């Protein structure tokens, strides 16, 4: 398991959840913070998949960290100390989520989930507009794929990208893209100020209103509300195309998946786009795999806790799709996305296109802390059916295809094009 320098991992977490400086802590807050620290430390001690704690003297870590917690003067400082402690584990899926990120899903007017309507990708060290939602404020403002975002509300995006790129971690791009996307969000009826560099080099300053983005706002366990986007359509070459941005809301997504595959039954191939999908409910991987498997007794791999081994068994549907299956991934594909992609390839059922995934595949849980923050922690390890450890390694595509800024400017999607060319061949 790859060990990341503490300062680097702590910087990742800081950038992911950057918040304004907080006021001085009250005595009540200090007491809650100390209780939160002790709960975080105990939870890791009791649930980390490796009883040896990746070689760390965890008691010594407690003794070193407690005085730092007691000296913290703000919530941000306290979170930074906790993140530094967790970073010493060198594992994914350990995070402190500020309590401010927890907002009721039924209050859209105050939830910081309104969006200007565009997404970004990090390409060649730049934050580039990768897609613009039709009819969105961003579309009306003239934003187009290929434009480079230089500044968001006074924060220089290039400096953020460069700092994370220098770490040379496979997780850096995924974290950077999530950080940038988070900065674009805000309350409904607000606006975000950006500086955008056009292909001709001209810089334009825009103030773009935020509006409710596509997808249903879904709450799950102790996760902050997230929007679930499911898209299914037939491509010109005959292949079916399905995109899922996060593995949540199974009650709605699974019937949509089934209906889409029913429509694609005669298609020569199906493309499942998991690019930028950070994961979600792990069990959904088994359910989705069942739409493409026609044999019983197979599994996507195994999840191991300290107490037991859980097999990711696949239960075939009555009428599974048996044509070609292409799965698209990138550095933003993590967790459940990696388990599903690697698992179906191990079973000889899918061909993978794109770039290497994040390598962040540890199953995790989230609890609330006494100070109101959330704590995400890994509770199991995962090994694919062929014995591949995805944590720190990721899924390596069968066909590696890199998207360029020129591709975006021209409206091309070389990853999808490569998959469509393969999936469109009529070989069953």
Q: What is the pLDDT of residues 139-171, one digit of tens each?
A: 999 999 999 999 999 888 888 777 666 544 545
> Does 205 fall in a domain?
yes
- Give alpha helix (H) positions in 54-123: 58-71, 75-87
The predicted pLDDT at position 183 comes to 86
Q: Are residues 266 and 348 in the same domain?
A: yes
Same domain, residue pair 297 and 400: yes
Q: Is residue 203 part of a domain?
A: yes
Q: Are 104 and 59 in contact (CB under 8 A)?
A: no
For residue 165, what pLDDT is reported?
A: 61
**Same-domain check for residues 87 and 148:** no
* Token pair for 282: 């792990």
Residue with the larger pLDDT of the pair 112 and 246: 246
Q: Is residue 38 part of a domain?
A: yes
Do 26 and 131 have their domain in common?
no
| Statement: residue 222 has pLDDT above 60 | no
Backbone torsions φ then ψ of 234, nearest 5 degrees: -95, 130
Q: How many CA atoms lie within 13 A of 173 on its CB side?
A: 24
Angle at 382 (CA atoms; ends 324, 399), nearest 5 degrees: 35
Co-location of 94 and 174 in the same domain: no
* Structural domains in the chain (count): 3
CB proximity list for 307: less than 8 A, separation 6 or greater: none
107: in domain: no
In a domain, 250, yes or no: yes
Do 175 and 131 share a structural domain? yes
Domain of residue 66, residue span: 6-101
Query: Does the residue 374 lie in any domain?
Result: no
Q: Report helix, strand or coil for 106.
A: coil
7-21, 163-177, 310-324: the lowest-pLDDT one: 7-21
Is the pLDDT at 256 greater than 80? The verdict is yes
| Same domain (yes/no): 133, 31 | no
- Residue 373 belongs to a domain: no
pLDDT in tens, 24-37: 888 999 999 999 99
Q: Are residue 87 and residue 199 in the same domain, yes or no?
A: no
């Amino acid at each position: 398991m790859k060990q990341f320098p503490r300062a680097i991992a702590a910087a990742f977490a800081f950038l992911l959840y950057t918040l304004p400086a907080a006021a001085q802590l009250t005595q009540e807050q200090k007491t809650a913070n100390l209780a939160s620290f002790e709960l975080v430390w105990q939870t890791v001690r009791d649930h980390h998949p490796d009883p040896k704690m990746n070689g760390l003297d965890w008691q010594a870590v407690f003794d070193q960290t407690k005085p730092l917690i007691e000296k913290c003067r703000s919530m941000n400082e306290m979170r930074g100390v906790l993140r530094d402690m967790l970073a010493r584990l060198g594992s994914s899926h350990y995070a402190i989520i500020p309590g401010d990120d927890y907002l009721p899903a039924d209050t859209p007017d105050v939830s910081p989930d309104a969006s200007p309507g565009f997404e970004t990708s990090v390409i060649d060290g730049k934050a580039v507009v990768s897609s613009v939602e039709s009819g969105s404020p961003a579309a009306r403002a003239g934003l187009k794929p290929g434009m480079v975002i230089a500044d968001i509300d006074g924060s220089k995006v290039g400096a953020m990208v460069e700092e994370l790129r220098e770490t040379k971690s496979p997780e850096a791009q995924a974290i950077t893209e999530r950080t940038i996307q988070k900065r674009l969000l805000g309350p409904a009826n607000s606006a975000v100020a950006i500086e955008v560099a056009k292909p001709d080099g001209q810089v334009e300053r825009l103030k773009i209103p935020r509006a409710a983005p596509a997808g249903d706002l879904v709450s799950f366990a102790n996760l902050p509300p997230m929007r679930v986007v499911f898209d299914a359509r037939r491509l010109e070459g005959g292949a079916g195309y399905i995109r899922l941005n996060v593995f949540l809301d199974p009650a709605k997504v699974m019937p949509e998946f089934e209906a889409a595959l029913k429509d694609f039954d005669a298609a020569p191939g199906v493309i499942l786009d998991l690019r930028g999908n950070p994961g979600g409910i792990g069990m959904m991987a088994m359910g989705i795999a069942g739409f493409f498997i026609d044999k019983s007794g197979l599994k996507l791999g195994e999840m191991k806790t300290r107490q037991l081994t859980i097999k990711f068994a696949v239960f075939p549907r009555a009428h599974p799709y048996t044509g070609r299956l292409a799965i698209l991934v990138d550095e933003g594909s993590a967790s459940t996305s990696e388990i599903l992609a690697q698992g179906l390839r191990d079973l000889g059922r899918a061909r993978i296109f794109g770039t290497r995934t994040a390598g962040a595949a540890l199953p995790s849980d989230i609890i609330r802390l006494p100070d109101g923050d959330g704590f995400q922690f890994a509770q199991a390890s995962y090994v694919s059916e062929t014995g591949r450890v995805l944590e720190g390694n990721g899924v390596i595509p069968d066909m590696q295809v890199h998207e360029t800024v020129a591709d975006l400017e021209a409206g091309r999607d070389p990853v999808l094009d490569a998959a469509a060319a393969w999936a469109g061949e009529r070989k069953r």
